[in-house]
A = this chain, B = another copy of it.
Amino acid sequence: MSRLVLKFGGTSVGSLERIEAVAEQVMALRSLGHQLVVVVSAMAGETNRLVEMAYRLSATPNPRELDMLMATGEQVSMSLLATVLSARGCPARSFTGGQAGIVTSSVHGGAMIENIDTAALEANLAEGAVAIVAGFQGCDAMGEITTLGRGGSDYTAVALAAALAADECQIFTDVDGVYSADPRIVPSAVRHDCIRFTDMLAMAEHGAKVLQYQSVHSAYELNVPLRVLSSFTAGHSTLVTFDHLCPVKPIAGLAGVAQLLITIPSKYLIEFRTNLTELNLQFQLLQEQADDVTLIVCDSDEGKIPLELKQRIRHIIKVFTLSIVGQSAETIRHHAIEALSLQGIAVHQYSLADSRLSLTVDSDDYPQAATLLHEKFVVCDEFIDNAPLLAVS
19 A-B contact pairs sorted by A residue (CB < 8 Å):
A16-B57, A54-B79, A57-B84, A58-B83, A59-B87, A60-B87, A62-B82, A62-B83, A64-B93, A65-B94, A66-B83, A68-B75, A68-B79, A68-B94, A69-B75, A69-B80, A69-B83, A72-B75, A96-B145
A80-B66 in contact given A72-B72, A143-B99 (Cβ < 8 Å):
no
- Contact: A65 with B53, CB < 8 Å? no
1/0 per position for A105-147, CB-CB distance to B under 8 A?
A: 0000000000000000000000000000000000000010100
- Contact: B65 with A79, CB < 8 Å? yes
Asked whether A76 is an interface residue with its Cβ less than 8 Å from the other chain, the reply is yes
Chain B residue nearest to A87 in the complex (CB): B58
Cβ contacts under 8 Å, A19 to chain B: 57
Cβ contacts under 8 Å, A50 to chain B: 76
What copy number does this chain have within its complex?
2
Most chain B C-beta atoms within 10 Å of own C-beta, residue among A19, A62, A64: A62
The residue that A68 contacts in the complex, of B60, B61, B66, B78, with Cβ under 8 A, is: B78
Cβ contacts under 8 Å, A87 to chain B: 57-62
Q: In the docked arrangement, what's the CA distance between A16 and B99, Å?
A: 30
Q: In the docked arrangement, what's the CA distance between A229 and B166, Å?
A: 56
Cβ contacts under 8 Å, A76 to chain B: 50, 53, 69, 72
Asked whether A71 is an interface residue with its Cβ less than 8 Å from the other chain, the reply is yes
Shortest Cβ distance from residue A180 to the other chain B in the assembled complex, whole angstroms: 39
Asked whether A304 is an interface residue with its Cβ less than 8 Å from the other chain, the reply is no
- Contact: A61 with B83, CB < 8 Å? yes
Asked whether A86 is an interface residue with its Cβ less than 8 Å from the other chain, the reply is yes
Interface residues of A in 40-73 (CB under 8 A from B): 50, 53-54, 56-62, 64-66, 68-69, 71-72
Shortest Cβ distance from residue A121 to the other chain B in the assembled complex, whole angstroms: 14
Asked whether A20 is an interface residue with its Cβ less than 8 Å from the other chain, the reply is yes
